[in-house]
Chain A
Amino acid sequence: MSYLREVTVGGAFPPFVALQVLFGFVPNVFRAQSLLPRVIEAEAGIACALLLEERDLSRIQKASMSLAISAAHGDAYWVSGYYQLLRSMGVPGDTLDRIVVNDHHADLSARDQALLDFARKLAKRGPWLSGEDIAELRSRRLSDESILEAVIVTALTGFFCTLSKGLGPFPDFIVKPVPPSASTSPQAAGGYVGGTGGPHLRTVELSPENFPPFAFFLEGFGLIPNLFRAQSLRQDVLEAEAEAIRKILHHKDILSRLQKECILLVGSAANLNTYCVAAHCEALRRMGLSAEEADQIALDHHKADLPEADTALLDFTLKLTARPADFGPHDIDKVRRYGFTDEHILEGVVVTAFNTFFNTLQMGLGTTPDVVPRRTFGPDDGHRLAATEGPPEPVQVDPDAGLVARAQSGDLDAFEDLVNRHSRIVYRALVGVVGNFDEAQDAMQETFLKAFQHIGSFQGRSKFSTWLLMIASNTGLQRLRDRKPLESLDDAGTQPEEDFRPRQVRAWTENPEQLYSSAERRGLVERGMLKLPAKYRVVLVLRDLEQLSTEETALALGLGIPAIKSRLCRARLMLREALAPHFAARAERIGL
Chain B
Amino acid sequence: MITCEQFMADFGNYFEGEVAADLRREMESHISHCRTCQVVCDSTSKTVRIVTDSGSFYLRPEAAQPLVARIMGRIRRSLES
* A binding-site residues for B, Cβ under 8 Å: 1, 3, 5-8, 76, 168, 170, 174-177, 325, 328-330, 412, 415-416, 419-420, 423-424, 427-428, 431-432, 437, 441, 444-445, 448-449, 452, 497-498, 500-502, 504-508, 512-513, 518, 521-522, 525-526, 529, 540-541, 544-545, 547, 565-566, 568-570, 572-573, 575-576, 579-580, 583-584, 590-592
Contacts and interface: CB of A to CB of B under 8 A. Distances in A.
Given A1-B45, A513-B50, A449 B56 contact: no
B65 to A, nearest CB: 9
A423 B75 contact: no
A507 B67 contact: no
A522 B43 contact: no
Contacts, number: 167
B81 interface: no
If over half of A's interface residues share one DSSP class (helix, strand or loop), that class is named, otherwise mixed; here it is: helix
B53 A8 contact: yes
Given A1-B49, A502-B40, A507-B39, 18 more contacts: A1-B15, A1-B46, A6-B49, A76-B28, A175-B28, A176-B32, A412-B72, A412-B75, A416-B72, A423-B68, A424-B58, A512-B46, A566-B12, A572-B44, A573-B11, A573-B40, A575-B47, A579-B47
Contacts of A441: 67
B32 A175 contact: yes
A409 to B, nearest CB: 14
Given A445-B74, A572-B48, A498 B9 contact: yes
Interface string B37-67: 0111011111111111111111100001001
Contact of B11 (A330, A423, A569): A569
A525 B43 contact: no
A574 to B, nearest CB: 10
A540 B46 contact: no
A497 B13 CA distance: 13
Nearest to A425: B59
Interface residues of B, number: 50
Contacts of B76: 412
A507 B47 contact: no
Contacts of B12: 497, 565-566, 568-570
A174 B36 CA distance: 12
A476 B55 CA distance: 21
Contacts of A502: 8, 36, 40
B16 A329 contact: yes
A501 B16 CA distance: 19
A521 B28 contact: no
Contacts of B53: 6-8, 513, 521
B43 A583 contact: yes
| A174, A424, A583 — most chain B CB neighbours (10 Å) | A174
Contacts of A583: 43, 46, 50
Contacts of A501: 8
A420 B57 CA distance: 17
Interface in B5-33: 8-9, 11-13, 15-18, 21, 25, 28-29, 31-32
A416 B47 CA distance: 36
A415 B67 CA distance: 14
B47 A522 contact: no
A529 B47 CA distance: 12
Given A1-B45, A525-B56, A579-B50, A175 B31 contact: yes
B51 A575 contact: yes
Contacts of B52: 5-6, 544-545, 547
6 tightest A-B CB contacts, nearest first: A569-B12, A1-B45, A175-B28, A525-B54, A576-B47, A427-B59
